[in-house]
Amino acid sequence: MAKLIGGVIAIPVIATVLSLIVNIILAALLALTYSTLTKENLVAEITFDKIANQEKLYTAHVLSPSGSKIGNYLIYGDQWRMDAAFIKMEYWANILGVDSKYALNRIEGRYKNIQDENTKEHKSYQLEGHTIIDSFSFFVDTTYGSSVYQDIKLGVKYKVLHSPTGLLVRDEVVIPEKSYWDKTKDALGL
Residues 18 and 58 in one domain: no
The answer to whether residue 103 sits within a structural domain is yes
CB 145 within 8 A of CB 105: yes
pLDDT at 185: 66
Q: How far apart are CA 169 and CA 71, in angstroms?
A: 19
* 169 neighbors 45 (Cβ within 8 angstroms): no
Q: Are residues 76 and 99 in the same domain?
A: yes
For every one of its 190 residues, what pLDDT tens digit does the chain have, with 9 covering 90 and above? 556 565 666 677 777 877 888 777 776 666 656 555 567 889 999 999 999 888 899 999 999 999 899 999 999 999 999 999 888 878 777 777 777 788 889 999 999 999 999 999 999 999 876 555 555 577 788 778 889 999 999 999 999 998 877 899 999 887 666 666 766 666 676 6
Q: Is 32 within a domain?
A: yes
186 domain residue, yes or no: no
* Contact assessment for residue 110 and residue 77, using Cβ atoms and an 8 Å cutoff: yes
Residue type, position 116, single letter: D
Q: Assess whether 152 and 96 both reside in one domain.
A: yes
Are 66 and 135 contained in the same domain? yes
72 plus 163 within the same structural domain: yes
pLDDT the model gives residue 117: 92
Where helices occur in the chain by DSSP H, the ranges are: 2-37, 91-95, 114-119, 180-188
Position 120 scores a pLDDT of 93
What total number of domains does the chain contain? Answer: 2
Pair 2, 60 in one domain: no
Are 53 and 97 found together in one domain? Answer: yes
Which pLDDT does position 97 carry in this prediction? 74
Q: Which of 84, 41, 38, 103 is nearest to 66 (CA)?
A: 41
The CA-to-CA distance between both ends of the chain, in Å, stands at 95
Confidence (pTM) = 0.69
43 shares a domain with 29: no
Q: Give the domain extent around 90.
A: 39-173
Residue 5 lies in a domain: yes
Residues 75 and 134 occupy one common structural domain: yes
Q: Buried (b) or exposed (e) across 54-77, using 16+ Cβ within 10 A?
A: eebebebbbbeeeeeebeebebbb
Q: Say what the pLDDT of residue 35 is.
A: 56
Phi, psi of 67, rounded to the nearest 5 degrees: 95, -5
pLDDT given for residue 50 in this prediction: 94
Give the model's pLDDT for residue 177.
62
How much is the pLDDT for 48? 95
Residue 179 falls inside a structural domain: no
Considering the domain boundaries, does residue 59 fall inside one? yes
Vertex 115 angle, CA 110 and 121, to 5°: 50
Question: Could you tell me if 10 and 46 lie in one domain?
Answer: no
Residues 120 and 26 in one domain: no
Q: Is residue 15 part of a domain?
A: yes
Tell me if 20 is assigned to some domain. Answer: yes
- Tell me how far the alpha carbon of residue 181 is from its chain's centroid: 38
Phi, psi of 175 (to 5 degrees): -85, 115
